[in-house]
Amino acid sequence: VTVETTEDGLTIGHASFRPAAAPADVLTLADLAAWLDVDEATIAELAESGELPGRRLGGEWRFARDAVLDWLARR
């Protein structure tokens, strides 16, 4: 609810908003590369070497957001 005071009195109005979507808990290789602003090849290389925590599912990489945040905090 919005309330404005003017010289003529009060004006009451309504406001609405749409909350931002919650970030995904599991990220694809492309999602993680965009989030960290690095090349997908770099993410794949780090994941394949075991340095970056991730799992292959159906031949595609998946990364848990919390695990990536922990990994970044340790760097």
Query: How many whole angstroms separate alpha carbon 29 and alpha carbon 49?
Result: 15
Q: What is the reported pLDDT for 16? A: 63
More confident residue, 49 or 10: 49
**pLDDT tens figures, 14-68:** 666 677 776 789 999 999 999 999 999 999 999 999 999 999 999 999 999 999 9
Q: Evaluate if residue 69 carries a pLDDT over 90.
A: yes
Closest C-alpha among 43, 75, 74, 49 to residue 61: 43
Query: How many whole angstroms separate alpha carbon 52 and alpha carbon 43?
Result: 8
Q: What is the reported pLDDT for 7? A: 66
Query: Residue 68: which H helix or E strand, with range?
Result: helix 65-74
Q: What is the reported pLDDT for 18? A: 72
